[in-house]
Amino acid sequence: MHADEVRRVLVIGSGTMGLQIGLQAAAHGCDVVLHDADPAALDGAEQRLRGYGEAPVAAGSISADALEQALARIECMPDPAAAAAGVDLVSECVPEDPVLKGQVLGQFNELCPERAIFTTNTSTLLPSMFADATPFATSVSASRLIAV
């Protein structure tokens, strides 16, 4: 898959990084699905996303209309299977716990289409620390996991 073929992005984790990655993807024309294992975490996502978009609007980097269009492309989905349906790119943004990251990547490897590219967002962990907990370590799918 080429970058220009990515149309639907799944962001797993609705913390600061997950929401900002989702907003950037939506601002660049992708449909975005936000998923969090804690459905309550998704409750305030729209308000937080709007807050993250205000600074670029104030700076003139993006128009208010473009922000509204980006926000309209973002959908929160608490159901993992529904969130994974039809995605092209997965951005894993869960807390810095290698066991948790391995579990999440393994779960969504089963749910997402074979074509989906997986990325992991980490500042302190190496993907090799949790690769063994996923099918990426030993299968053909190893090329699907990219650290960002």
- Give CA torsion, residues 15, 18, 23, 29, to 10 deg: -160
The whole-number pLDDT of residue 122 equals: 79
Which tens digits make up the pLDDT trace of 81-117?
999 999 999 999 999 998 899 899 989 999 999 999 8
Number of domains in the chain: 1
Report the percent of the chain where pLDDT is more than 70: 86
| Residue 51 near residue 130, CB atoms below 8 Å | no
CATH number at residue 69: 3.40.50.720
pLDDT grade for 142, boundaries at 50, 70 and 90: very low
The whole-number pLDDT of residue 146 equals: 56
Question: Which residue type is seen at 120?
Answer: T
Bridge partners of 12, per DSSP, are 35, 92
CA 60 to chain centre: 26
Which tens digits make up the pLDDT trace of 40-73?
999 999 999 999 999 999 999 999 999 999 999 9
